[in-house]
Amino acid sequence: MKKLIIIRHGKATQSFMPDKERFLVDKGKKRTQKFALKLKETGITPDLILTSPAVRAKQTAEIVAEVFSFPKDKIQVKDTFYFRGKELVYNELYALPDDKNAVFIVGHNPLWTELADNFSTKQILHLRTSGIFGVEFDTKHWTEIETAEKRDLVLISD
């Protein structure tokens, strides 16, 4: 079984700065921690955390890592998670090492909502900031997640 936890970055500043440099506001930090604590209650723990290189996504990943006592220096930054297209993100997922059973990914809308909706057995119209969706795939190989039977694990959005 493989578990994929899709996490949208927390609420970020709307300041006039390059998009990649936008950082989390206090509300975004607090909601991310709150949602990560709810996720921890499910008993799912990360074997791997991947994040977009955007500051707000990296900060979100670090908050999640802290809640799960996951070493922050083991968080992997994936350039393909920063508005590079659905196909590249899917290729990253298919290439995940099979010895990792629970992978948390942190990134951006609209693609993160699209991923959640694609993998869910229900319709997910919008994954809000700090929102978390988790799915379990009945397979031993990440290359098979698209065709494997799926089971929704968690949706945390308020």
29-51 residue pLDDT tens? 999 999 999 999 999 999 999 99
Does residue 115 surpass a pLDDT of 90? yes
**Least confident stretch, 17-21, 22-26, 74-78, 150-154:** 17-21
Nearest Cα residue to 46 out of 106, 1, 102 = 102
Residue 105 burial by CB count (10 A; 0-12/13-18/19+): exposed, middle or buried? buried
Please state, as a whole number, how many other Cβ atoms lie within 10 Å of the Cβ of residue 88: 13
pLDDT given for residue 69 in this prediction: 98
Model confidence, pTM: 0.96
DSSP alpha helix (H) spans, 1-155: 26-41, 55-67, 86-94, 111-119
Euclidean distance between CA atoms 11 and 117, whole angstroms: 21
**DSSP secondary structure code for residue 14 in this structure:** -
pLDDT given for residue 84 in this prediction: 83
The helix or strand, by DSSP H or E, that contains position 48, with its residue range, turns out to be: strand 48-51
How sure is the predictor about 134, in pLDDT bands with cuts at 50, 70 and 90? Answer: very high
Distances (CA, A) of 120 to 74, 100, 142: 28, 21, 16
pLDDT given for residue 16 in this prediction: 84
As given in the structure block, the two tokens for residue 3 are 């578990």
Sorted by where each starts, the structural domains of the chain and their CATH numbers stand as 6-95+110-156 (3.40.50.1240)
